[in-house]
């Protein structure tokens, strides 16, 4: 039952896609290809589970390239000397080099090139918005005047990472001798994990403090199983443990121990805060306290981390829903909408203020949601939530919108149309309006200065107002992407290593105290 939508009603199986790739490859292999010939190679589609089947299961939707497909896709790369793709990658992977190794069939060498700068390739290959990063800059996409026809760098990254794991060839990077220095990392999301690896490789003792019983941050509680299988995250965590990184779970820094205690009593030389932006936003409208109203964080934590999708075995319940309204247009909205189908909702409606074009969600995820039967009401927003007299959600009252002048973000501002009130009957409402840094930061970490938005203020070295405390990822930027958090983790690790080696310039205000 593995199929792929090519056009409206034609489905191809993984075997069929592989057969086509084989035909192409037999023509191409062994020859020196000119750029024109490379540009003529059709982009390789990703094999996927049939939408009808997958929308009721949590299995991973995309199945990954076959080896032949990967080789054909790799042949599309022009091996540009200036490699604009590298500049588009927040952790500067040597993209042409790893793709060249795929053409040569040297998959282990290929993944090792990636791992010089990115230790989580099987995750990044799946969840990075490549179309806005490496692939946006790709010369092939530019030459073909279609960014969707750029070389599928993410899928190739995933291919070699999966290949390494499936063949049991995983290798750990070398670790320098013990430096005698101790670093505490707060939060085990992508920023914390990346910083941990880099610091550990320099020989420092690294302890990650995590409030949840599982490491991975948004990769375990937010991004659903059908986009990112949790066993991949678990594998990566095990690799970090093998590297010597220590994990302490059920530990809420600020409550269980304070930053000062970690630095003054527990012997840590430096703290890196990578606690993310975990506080969900609500709209402050009537009816938000009705039964059946969830934040996407709660909905996804219950279904994903606590496995409520497995109604038989999981103790954590999720309300049974018939019609679900998801408010928002980002990736989290798509994840919540698609998860709602998988836990049994009959109909799921995404309500978004702007149009399809302005949706911040990845194009691929929007298409996947549409294929699975999620409905979209664009230019619509919720005004209030109506109850049934027993305190349960009955319907949402909505307003229609039109697009006005561009706002500060450059996107057209949605303007409500007066008198356009209409209601949509639903029994569940999920708010996916983004999240902001946690109020616990302000309340329990007085050592670090925060902005008005609640984000931690850092200098160009990602150092906070405290000379031995650094911060990075969503806790500094507000909600962003996995790979940007990883980039911040890497940058912070470099600064922290310089500080521990006595080479980081002192903070600017150092002389004034």
Partner 1 sequence: MRRIVRKRQLSENVFQFVVEAPHVAKAHRPGQFVVIQLEDEFSERIPLSVADWDPEAGTITLIVQVVGKTTRMLSLRREGEGIAHVLGPLGNPTDIEKVGTVVCVGGGIGTAPLHPIARAFRRKGNRVISIIGARTKDLIILEDEMRSVSDELIVCTDDGSYGRKALVTEPLKELCEQGDVNEVVAIGPPIMMKFCAETTRPFGIKTVVSLNTIMVDGTGMCGGCRVKVGDEIKFVCVDGPEFDGHLVDFDGMMRRLAAYRPMEQEKDHRCKLELVGNERRGE
By the rule CB under 8 A, 386 interacts with partner 1: no
Cβ proximity to partner 1: between 282 and 422 the closer is 282
CB of 276 to partner 1, least distance (A): 9
Q: Which of 5, 20, 142, 307 binds partner 1 (CB under 8 A)?
A: 307
- State in angstroms the smallest separation of the CB of 280 from partner 1: 5
Among 295, 380, 428, 495, binds partner 1 (CB under 8 A): 295
Residues with Cβ < 8 Å from 301, sequence gap 6 or more? 221, 222
Query: Is 504 one of the binding residues for partner 1 (CB under 8 A)?
Result: no
Q: Which helix (H) or strand (E) holds 326?
A: strand 323-327
* Cβ neighbourhood burial of 462 (10 Å; 0-12, 13-18, 19+): buried
When asked if residue 436 is in the footprint of partner 1 (CB under 8 A), the reply is no
Cβ proximity to partner 1, 105 vs 391, nearer residue: 391
Residue 210 CB, nearest approach to partner 1 (Å):
10
Which of 70, 208 has the CB closer to partner 1? 208
Interface mask toward partner 1 for 317-346; x: CB under 8 A: x-x---------------------------
Range in contact with partner 1 (rule: CB under 8 A) among 45-53, 141-149, 439-447, 495-503: 439-447
Complex with partner 1: residue 317 or 505, whichever CB lies closer: 317
161 φ/ψ sector (left φ>0, alpha ψ -120 to 50, else beta):
alpha
146 φ/ψ angles, rounded to the nearest 5 degrees: -150, 105
Quote the tokens at residue 66. 């076959």
Residue 424 phi/psi, 5° resolution?
-120, 125
Give the single-character DSSP code of 510.
Answer: G
Least distance (Å) between residue 292 CB and partner 1 = 8
- DSSP, res 215: S
Distance CA 238, CA 196 (A): 13
Nearest distance from residue 463's CB to partner 1, in Å?
Answer: 25
User: What is d(CA 113, CA 89) in angstroms, rounded to the nearest whole number?
Assistant: 14
Which member of 267, 391, 505, 506 binds partner 1 (CB under 8 A)? 391
Q: Which residues contact 379 (CB under 8 A, 6 or more apart)?
A: 352, 353, 354, 355, 400, 401, 402, 403, 414
Positions touching partner 1 (CB under 8 A) are 211-213, 221, 249-252, 255-257, 278-280, 282, 284, 288-289, 291-292, 294-295, 297-298, 301-302, 306-307, 310, 313-317, 319, 390-391, 438-440, 443
């Amino acid at each position: 039952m593995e199929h792929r939508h090519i056009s409206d009603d034609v489905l191809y199986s993984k075997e069929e896609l592989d057969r086509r790739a084989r035909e192409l490859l037999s023509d191409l292999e062994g020859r020196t290809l000119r750029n024109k010939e490379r540009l003529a190679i059709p982009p390789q589609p990703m094999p996927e589970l049939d939408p009808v089947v997958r929308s009721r299961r949590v299995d991973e939707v995309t199945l990954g390239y076959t080896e032949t497909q990967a080789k054909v896709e790799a042949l599309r790369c022009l091996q540009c000397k200036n490699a604009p793709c590298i500049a588009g990658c927040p952790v500067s992977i040597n993209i042409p080099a790893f793709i060249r190794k795929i053409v040569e069939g040297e998959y282990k060498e290929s993944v090792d090139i990636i791992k010089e700068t990115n230790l989580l390739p099987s995750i990044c290959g799946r969840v990075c918005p490549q179309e806005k990063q490496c692939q946006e800059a790709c010369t092939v996409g530019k030459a073909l005047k279609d960014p969707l026809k750029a070389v599928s760098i993410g899928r190739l990254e995933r291919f070699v990472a999966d290949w390494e794991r499936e063949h049991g060839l995983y290798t750990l990077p070398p670790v320098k001798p013990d430096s005698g220095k101790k670093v505490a990392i707060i939060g085990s999301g992508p920023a914390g994990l990346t910083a941990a690896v880099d610091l550990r490789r320099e020989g420092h003792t690294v302890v990650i403090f995590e409030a949840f019983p599982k490491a991975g941050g948004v990769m375990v509680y937010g991004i659903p199983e059908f986009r990112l299988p949790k066993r991949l995250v678990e594998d990566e965590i095990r690799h970090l443990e093998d590297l010597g990184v220590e994990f302490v779970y059920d530990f809420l820094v600020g409550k269980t121990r304070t930053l000062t205690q970690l630095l003054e009593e527990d012997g840590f030389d430096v703290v890196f805060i990578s606690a993310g932006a975990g506080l969900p936003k609500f709209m402050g409208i009537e009816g938000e306290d009705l039964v059946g109203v969830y934040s996407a964080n709660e909905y996804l934590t219950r279904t994903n981390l606590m496995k409520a999708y497995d109604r038989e075995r999981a103790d954590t319940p999720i309300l049974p829903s018939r019609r679900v309204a998801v408010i928002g247009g980002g990736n989290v909205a798509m994840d919540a909408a698609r998860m709602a189908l998988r836990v049994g909702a009959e109909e799921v409606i995404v309500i978004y203020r702007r149009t399809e074009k302005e949706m911040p969600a990845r194009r691929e995820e929007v298409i996947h949601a549409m294929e699975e039967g999620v409905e979209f009401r664009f230019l619509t927003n919720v005004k209030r939530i109506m109850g049934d007299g027993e305190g349960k959600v009955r319907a949402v009252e909505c307003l229609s919108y039109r697009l006005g002048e561009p706002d500060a973000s450059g996107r057209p501002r949605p303007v409500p149309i007066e008198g356009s009130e209409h209601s949509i009957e639903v029994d569940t409402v999920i708010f996916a309006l983004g999240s902001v840094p946690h109020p616990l930061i302000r309340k329990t970490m007085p050592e670090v200065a925060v902005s008005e938005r609640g984000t931690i203020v850092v200098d160009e070295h990602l150092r906070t107002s405290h000379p031995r405390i650094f911060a990075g990822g969503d806790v500094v930027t507000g909600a962003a992407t996995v790979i940007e958090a990883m980039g911040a983790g890497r940058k912070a690790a470099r600064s922290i290593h310089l500080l521990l080696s006595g080479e980081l310039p002192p903070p600017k205000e150092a002389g004034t105290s």
